[in-house]
Structure 1
């Protein structure tokens, strides 16, 4: 069975909390709104590639850490 990697809001939430950010403070750090962070964490939207790079830098992780493997 093939797998694909998709953005994981749960992984983002866990990384954000571990790093000590609120949704609001992370949004400010990224130059976006808290509502965007909330939508990403609830898998309503996925961040654009440049934002993924920023997230990884701010949260001190690899971009791949923000994804999860799912069966196709």
Structure 2
């Protein structure tokens, strides 16, 4: 959860400074797989993570306004 928080809040800050950066693709993929297992990756993992956390919308998917991550301990349903 801390990784997702750091990534998306860094996005919020850098977007405000007009210098947005993308994290390594594998980091976004791993965060999605662990905390958003029900979210299919569409396009880049980073843009999917931003969508999953309600930061962006896509032409095919409106912005999520009511989302939760899957926070069960690893290896449990």
TM-score normalised over the length of structure 2: 0.33
Q: Which structure dedicates a bigger proportion of its chain to strand? A: 1
Whichever structure has more helix as a proportion of its residues is 1
**TM-score where L is the length of structure 1:** 0.35
